[in-house]
Amino acid sequence: MPSVEKASLSASPRPRFLRVPRIPSLQELHKLIRPILVMLPAMGLILGFGMGIVGGGQWAGTIWAAATVPVLSALLIEIVASLRRGDVGLDIVAALSMAGALVFGEHLAAVVVALMYAGGQYLESFAERRANREMTALLARVPGTALRHRDGRLEEVPLDAVVPEDRLLVRQGDVVPVDGFVAAGMAVLDQSALTGESVPAQKKAGEPVMSGVTNVGDAFDLSATHSAAESTYAGIVRLIEAAQASKAPMTRLADRFAMAFLALTVVLAGGAWLWSGDPIRALAVLVVATPCPLILAVPVAIVSGVSRAAKAGVLVKGGKAMETLARVKALVIDKTGTLTHGQARIVEIRPVVGLSPEGLLQLAASLEQASKHVIARALVSEAQAMALDLLPPIAVAEVPGEGLEGIVDGRRVVVGGVRFLSQRVPNAARAVADGHYPVGSVVVAVAVDGEPAGLLILADPLRSEAARVIDSLRRLGIARITLASGDRRDVAEAVTVGLHLDAVHAELTPDRKIAIVQEEKRHGPVMMVGDGVNDAPALAAADLGVALGAKGAAASAEAADIVLLVDRLDKIPVAVQAARRSRRIALQSVYAGIGLSVVGMVVAGLGYLTPVQGALIQEAIDVAVILNALRALWGPEPS
């Protein structure tokens, strides 16, 4: 066996004292600054009151102003950035009230507004930060190195060092690193992550192999035809990046009220100033108008919904995803590994007369214990699930990818494809020629002591909950449901018989899946559900991507907005129900909070409230709407 050595393709590592420190990204700076912006006004508020108690009240205003300035500065920077993008939000009202309070010496009102604003911003980003910590990198399943034949040895080289015509060794369990063809040996490949085909494909010498598929058979040699950057998997990654870049940003629920509320605030504050000639009245209106019911109530309700979904095994990546989930009107769903389990299972056992189904499976599975083939593992798993006693096989001979024969309990057993059996057992072909087999199924023939003994039929059936989930989503208001599969059309249509689908699309490439998602957007916000690498671009392109993270590919989990942490589709209606309840409660809080704020603004404009009194009244409104928003966390369990 050739030895394996690490290729020395790069210079020695840079000395530690020469390494350039990494500059934090803007997002990382926000993560560091936001907690500080909450702490500063909170500590300033407490310290100012403390100074008043110990006789230093003359310093209270200065302390409150100093605690407000950092929050106001950060807010102004964000407003400028938003205006450059063409976004006008409620943050402008908060900035006007803080700046006005500082200008007119109402420092207590200023620091209260600063605390509420900073707290709301921190809370709004909490769910997204927490979810992102649990996400895997997009290229987690792609090998970073490859084993290359060179001068009679195997050398482990970086993936980007592989060039066309290199001969690589792909071991069992490895992900194929680059596009190529089988140079030697028989390749048994799990292509479900790329094509959606649930049954492994067998590739002989000279046949092409795509990067990103998994070798589930014995090791084989691959002759590279493309570099890693030009291979199939890299192309899918580029599709994901392009889809994410072109995805239209969803407007936050709170921002939809921004323009109307901002206009009303300016009119009332300006009117009060002009009518009375007193700028303090305008300031009181601004303080009461500080949109804390929107800044706080909406994220509290949405984050509560995110928490409820997490308890059900659904990881929602932030508040925007939760808001979008509540508004979904169309669903595009994958087949293999999503509507189905993504692996072959026994759907029927057909023994000959005199042999029970359990007896046929016991003999076949006992022999298959000696094989590493994926179908062999499926038969053994089924037998173990039925609590059958598996006997040790002896004198086993296997033809890789075709079948095997051996002795089980003193009986000569042959298991394999129809052609394999026909070569060893007379009349075997006639015994399996008649009969109907499910579309897309795999037929495993069994012979015992030189006679045909029966058939084991394997397929990738629908999940037991699939029909119930589709109907539940219909009742929840998703009007359009479409299947988008990379599998063969006849298989897709046969498997989905009885499901209430509006359209079935099959034999789709990743870019065609993106096109289907874009077409469905005319019906409203689109949710895409999938699990494989080939689904990742469509997940990124949809308004909302949902990935099955329990067994799915890392690329789909990274591209999606929501990840199911348990391998069950019935968690999707639970998440939709939680999202819609959270949005409903958030809207209730918004309407109530804005209504009370408008009343307070009118009272302040008439001169019956000072800025500090307005800030305290606004605090009372905040408490009321936050308590209402928390109902999204403590309400009844979604059904």
Active site residues: 334
Q: What angle do CA 544, 545, 548 make, to 5 degrees?
A: 145
In Å, what is the CA distance from 572 to each residue of 407, 470, 525, 529, 562? 48, 10, 16, 9, 10
Percent composition of the chain: helix, strand, coil (DSSP 3-state, to 5): 50, 20, 30
Q: Give the Cβ contact number of residue 297 at 10 Å.
A: 31
CB neighbours of 246 closer than 8 A, spacing ≥ 6? 541
Locate all alpha helices (DSSP H) within 134-231, ordered by sequence: 192-195
Give the DSSP H or E segment for 479.
none
d(CA 403, CA 81): 65
Alpha-carbon distance 480 to 416, whole Å?
43
One-letter amino acid at 635 equals G
- Put residue 151 in one of left, alpha, beta given phi > 0 → left and psi -120 to 50 → alpha: left
Cβ pair 455, 416 in contact under 8 A: no
Three-class DSSP category at 586: helix
What the block records as the tokens of 211 is 């990067």
According to the 3-state scheme, what is the secondary structure of 352-384? CCCCCHHHHHHHHHHHHCCCCCHHHHHHHHHHH
User: Which residue type, as a one-letter code, is found at position 587?
Assistant: L
**Closest by CA position to 265, among listed 72, 83, 113, 93:** 93
Tell me the pairing of strands 187-190 and 451-459: unpaired
Task: Let me know: does 557 contact 547? Beta carbons within 8 Å.
Answer: yes
Separation CA 438–CA 198 (nearest Å)? 14
Choose among 108, 4, 127: nearest CA to 46. 108
Q: How far apart are CA 46 and CA 385, in angstroms?
A: 64
d(CA 290, CA 614): 10
Residues in the chain: 639
Collapsing DSSP to helix, strand or coil, 147 comes out as strand
Burial 477-489 (b: 16+ CB within 10 A, else e): ebebbbbbbbbbe
Please report the DSSP string for 329-352 in residue order: -EEEE-IIIIIB-SS-EEEEEEEP
Structure tokens at 460: 């990738």
Burial class (CB in 10 A: 0-12, 13-18, 19+), 8: exposed
- Closest by alpha carbon to 317, among 154, 132, 106? 132
